[in-house]
């Protein structure tokens, strides 16, 4: 993609602001691709686990079929040794009423046992065909997710490389000013959000689980953002929120989009510490609410886990894991 030239007049706010917006957009696209990568990775792990379970089931099914065939073979060999007449039938022909009655019962039992073994063999063979088909389907899905992961990985790299190339072409003082413009934009957004009254009275104090999740997230302050990372020393945005709630004993989905889609939603005015704030219309970023209008998050590549204003980015909504 074409990379814009750095501002002709270093320090010119209008030109630097344009560059800042372009860099933000590139990192936003990288965040969307990161969500796609994380989802494909999560699904691939689940499919790999399912394939392992199916493989074990297939092995057990094959063992059972072999055992049933051995038992049926033993029945056939016994019949052959008695000249094709089952031992129970021979007893029926002995002329003794007692032996006849006992033989009749044994013959019926033997026939029933053979029928049951044949039925069980048929069911096991059918189950084995189903399991094999399921395993084949899971392999197909696994391969598709591997391709999705690779596609997302390339997209992430492309967007991050483009953003870093723009920043690398700026003079040192312009990079410092760029960071100031970024902070100014966040502060303006935060002030407007707080002033709008959207925060309301809040949802009260954190639950015990919420407090544990917050404590975990705050303990990661200063750790670098790395796309696809979920700790213990680096995180992406949803990796941080997932691990924080895992530390609190609550498992939640891996990606920001899945966290938004699957977790219970609460009004912004009722959020409490530990709740997760979802940003942008595509749910491509997520943070943890701390209370008093602030949040903790892993912002983007080149930044570390930090505390910021909860309204410093466009809020899509709020979800509550616990």
Spatial separation of the C-alpha atoms in residues 284 and 313, rounded to whole Å? 11
Return the biggest CA–CA distance within the chain: 119
d(CA 46, CA 141): 11
Give per-residue pLDDT as tens, 261-275: 999 999 999 999 999
Name the band, by pLDDT with cuts 50, 70 and 90, for residue 4: very low
User: How far apart, in Å, are the Cα atoms of 314 and each of 191, 279, 290?
Assistant: 13, 6, 17
Q: What is the pLDDT of residues 166-180, one digit of tens each?
A: 988 888 888 888 889
Mean pLDDT of the chain: 83
pLDDT of residue 216: 98
pLDDT in tens, 223-236: 999 999 999 999 99
**What average pLDDT does this structure show over 7-25?**
72
**298, 1, 30: which is closest to 156 by C-alpha?**
30
pTM over 0.75: no
Please, what is the Cα angle at 162 between 160 and 168, to 5 degrees?
100
pLDDT-derived band at 147 (thresholds 50, 70, 90) equals confident
Q: Which of 35, 32, 30 is nearest to 258 (CA)?
A: 35
Query: Is the per-residue pLDDT at 221 higher than 80?
Result: yes
CA 27 – CA 80 distance, rounded (Å)? 78
Cα separation of 293 and 190, whole Å? 9
Contact 259, 310 (CB under 8 A): no
CB atoms within 10 A of CB 37: 24
Average pLDDT over residues 151-156: 90
Residues whose CB is less than 8 angstroms from the CB of residue 198 and which lie 6 or more positions away in sequence, other chains included: 268, 269, 311, 315
Whether the pLDDT of residue 81 is over 70: the answer is no
Q: Provide the annotated active-site residues.
A: 237, 285, 297
Of 222, 220, 320, whose CA–CA distance to 273 is shortest? 320
Q: What is the pLDDT of residues 116-139, one digit of tens each?
A: 767 777 777 777 777 777 777 877
Q: Please, are residues 294 and 310 in contact by the beta-carbon 8 Å criterion?
A: yes
């Amino acid at each position: 993609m074409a990379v814009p030239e750095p501002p002709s007049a270093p320090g010119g706010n209008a030109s630097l602001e344009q560059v800042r917006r372009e860099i933000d957009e590139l990192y936003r696209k990288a965040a969307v691709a990161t969500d796609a990568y994380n989802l494909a990775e999560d699904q691939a792990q689940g499919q790999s686990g399912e394939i392992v379970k199916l493989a074990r089931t297939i092995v057990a099914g094959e063992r059972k079929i072999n055992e049933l065939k051995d038992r049926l073979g033993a029945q056939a060999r016994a019949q052959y040794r008695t000249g094709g007449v089952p031992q129970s039938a021979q007893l029926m022909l002995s002329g003794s009423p007692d032996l006849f009655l006992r033989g009749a019962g044994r013959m019926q039992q033997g026939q029933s046992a053979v029928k049951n073994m044949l039925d069980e063999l048929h069911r096991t063979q059918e189950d084995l065909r189903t399991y094999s088909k399921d395993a084949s389907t899971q392999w197909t899905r696994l391969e598709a997710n591997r391709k999705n992961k690779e596609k997302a990985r390339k997209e992430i790299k492309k967007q991050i490389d483009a953003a870093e190339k723009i920043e690398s072409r700026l003079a040192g003082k312009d990079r410092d000013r760029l960071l100031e413009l970024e902070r100014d934009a966040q502060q303006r957004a935060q002030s407007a959000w707080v002033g709008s009254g959207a925060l309301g009275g809040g949802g009260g104090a954190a639950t015990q689980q919420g407090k544990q999740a917050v404590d975990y997230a705050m303990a990661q302050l200063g750790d670098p953002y790395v796309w696809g990372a979920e700790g213990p020393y680096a995180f992406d945005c949803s990796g941080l929120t997932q691990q924080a709630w895992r530390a609190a004993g609550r498992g939640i989905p891996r990606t920001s989009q899945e966290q938004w889609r699957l977790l219970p939603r609460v009004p912004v005015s009722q959020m409490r510490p530990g709740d997760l704030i979802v940003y942008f219309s595509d749910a491509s970023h997520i943070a943890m609410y701390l209370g008093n209008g602030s949040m903790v998050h892993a912002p983007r590549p080149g930044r570390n886990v930090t505390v910021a204003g909860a309204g410093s980015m466009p809020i899509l909504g709020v979800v509550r894991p616990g």
